[in-house]
Amino acid sequence: MKTIRCTISDLSPDIIERLNATSLFSSVGFAQLWATLGGQDVYWVTKEGEKTLAVLPGVEFGKRPLRRFQAMPAGCYAVLVPVSDLKTDARNVALSTAQALQIEGYLKLYLTDYYSQFAHVDGFEISEEKTILVDISQPDWQPPDKKIQSEIRKAEREGVIVQRFNAGRHFDGFLSLVQQTKERHDSRTIYHEDFFRALAGLAESDDRVRWLFTEHESHPVASHIDFLLGDTVLNWQVYSDRAYSYLKPNQYMLYTVGREAALMGVRFLNLGSSPDDAGGLVTYKRKWGGREYKYQLYHLKSRLGDLL
């Protein structure tokens, strides 16, 4: 068994089809989004002789000796995609993949192991990540918190309409929401216009990207970017104008994506990880009726990486 680094040109159409079908986070379209931020999509392919067993997509940033690898960037999850029936080989495939990554000489290496596919490997530093999962599978699901229920009804009374993001009509307004949110939280963002335009293009061709938008009297109010991942919908990015918070658009949009996803057979609403110092945000997320879900972030730095 051997794991080798490949680019998209090395993959057969059948393997590409398998990657695209397995998950949004393993799809070629998602991996290639990060080219707008200087990334290169790569695919770590594990073989037994000539037989391909599995593929781990990821993204490299930088050039040797400063290359960094993430699967996947921005808090998105690694997906080790079986190409053959692994059965008892699954553990060995994960081990082979991890060892190949470790000896590649990356400055920094990150595997966000939401699905516990790498739980048996050694040689990494490990950080615990946490998110809140809300079970939305019941036909009459609604958040149990009375205040949030009231805020959803408030949005309905105010006539808040949730619509699909349309880049031709909404893009400039969306960028203003991004800037306002950045200034409000006094934070930097790795994303810029080219990235969001590429994401909008992906949303047009892949309905697993669920991008929602609201306006009020022609003014942009809020935007949510959500990802459908099997039995889960991930609330990935939220941008809004605080001046319109009285309309309760974020509460209504989160409720809307939950109900829409549930009708599609999705079971969980993933409210995303929160910083350790964001106690108020975690408390708010719990009000949606969620439970804590823990997973591992595996990371590794070279000696040079420790210095930079």
pLDDT of residue 159: 93
Q: Lowest mean pLDDT of 22-36, 177-191, 228-242, name the range.
A: 177-191
> 81 - beta bridge partners?
55
Structural domains counted in the chain:
2
**pTM for the whole thing?**
0.93
134: closest CA among 293, 253, 291, 294? 291
Q: Is 154 in the same domain as 104?
A: no
Q: Is 113 in the same domain as 163?
A: no
Q: Which of 89, 123, 157 is the last residue of a domain?
A: 123
Is a pLDDT exceeding 80 seen at residue 290?
yes
pLDDT of residue 278: 61
Q: Which of 72, 89, 123 is the last residue of a domain?
A: 123
Across residues 162-170, what is the average pLDDT?
96
pLDDT tens sequence across 92-134: 999 999 999 999 999 999 999 999 999 888 999 999 999 999 9
For residue 305, is it within any domain? no
Q: Is 22 in the same domain as 96?
A: yes
Q: Is 196 in the same domain as 268?
A: yes
Q: What gap in Å lies between CA 237 and CA 105, rounded to an integer?
A: 32
Q: Is 229 in the same domain as 158?
A: yes
Q: Side chain identity at 20, as an amino acid letter?
A: N
For residue 103, is it within any domain? yes
Across residues 66-83, what is the average pLDDT?
95
Q: Is 193 in the same domain as 65?
A: no
Helix ranges (H only) for the chain are 13-22, 28-33, 90-102, 146-157, 167-184, 193-205, 249-263, 279-286, 303-307
Q: What gap in Å lies between CA 97 and CA 4, rounded to an integer?
A: 8
Q: Is 108 in the same domain as 149?
A: no
pLDDT of residue 64: 86
CA distances in angstroms from 200 to 71, 130, 136, 145, 237, listed in the order given: 21, 28, 26, 33, 13
Q: What is the average pLDDT score of the chain? A: 92
Query: Tokens 């003014």 — which residue?
Result: 219
**Structural domain for 241, as ranges:** 132-294
Q: Are strands 108-113 and 68-71 parallel, antiparallel or unpaired?
A: parallel
Q: What gap in Å lies between CA 142 and CA 255, rounded to an integer?
A: 7
Q: Is 166 in the same domain as 283?
A: yes
Model confidence at 279, pLDDT cuts 50, 70, 90, reads: low
Q: Which of 105, 123, 141 is the last residue of a domain?
A: 123
pLDDT of residue 29: 98
Across residues 253-276, what is the average pLDDT?
90
Model confidence at 85, pLDDT cuts 50, 70, 90, reads: confident
Q: Is 151 in the same domain as 279?
A: yes
Task: Report helix, strand or coil for 104.
Answer: coil
Domain CATH code at residue 281: 3.40.630.30
